A and B are shown apart, each in its own frame.
Chain A
């Protein structure tokens, strides 16, 4: 059974870079059958898609975040990474990594538990 686990600092200072890692077990980030996504949820609010990446390295980003965003995969470590620079308090959220349903990018069959990142000085 595939499992995803987010990790990274829970507190980031304004203007700095938010960096998160999603470690995947029970499955490979190199599989061509799935895409890998980051999705966030501001406190008490709805879901916001951040972006996703295919095994080929092709990425798609939320237009509102695109200029600050890097998503990549590390196949040697079987990890997905997120880097969001120039963060502000508006980036405070629970960040989820998720794997798509097999063969279908726009639904997610497996999610990490989520990690809360607070942007504050």
Chain B
């Protein structure tokens, strides 16, 4: 099966913009979804499909894709955005693969 690669840790200054990336061969064909997970909590979907945000997710979150890389961009990071972020995508078989996760620190 294919893999999705994420940077283990990323930091951003409060109010600045940060991009969290996810790389993998499946992303050339399929969009990534992004989920945020805070300690002790279940994940929450942030972005899915081309760039869809569920209701309740602020518009400072956006998703994009270029080649084999998907990106989650947070424009104007807030303290409450500090969390682990996971990308996932599908494979041609219909299986799902997750990235290893990125721990975002807001300074």
Contact = CB atoms under 8 A, between A and B. Distances in A.
A73 B12 CA distance: 43
Interface stretch (A14-22, A78-86, A111-119): A111-119
Contact of A46 (B42, B44, B98): B98
Interface stretch (B15-23, B74-82, B89-97): B89-97
Contact of B96 (A46, A49, A96, A113): A49
Given A111-B42, A112-B42, A49 B48 contact: no
A interface, size bucket: 20 to 34
A109 B45 contact: yes
Interface string B38-56: 0000111100110010100
Nearest to A111: B42
A98 B42 CA distance: 10
A57 to B, nearest CB: 14
Interface in B81-106: 84, 86, 88-90, 93-101
B101 A47 contact: yes
B43 A111 contact: yes
B interface, size bucket: 20 to 34
A60 B94 CA distance: 7
A108 B54 contact: no
B48 to A, nearest CB: 3
Contacts of B94: 60
A49 B26 CA distance: 16
Contacts of A60: 93-96
10 contacts: A47-B86, A47-B88, A49-B88, A49-B95, A49-B96, A60-B95, A63-B95, A104-B52, A108-B43, A111-B43
Interface of B: 1, 30, 33, 35, 37, 42-45, 48-49, 52, 54, 84, 86, 88-90, 93-101
Q: Which 5 residue pairs of A and B lie closest in terms of their CB atoms, listed nearest first?
A: A107-B48, A107-B33, A111-B42, A49-B96, A46-B101
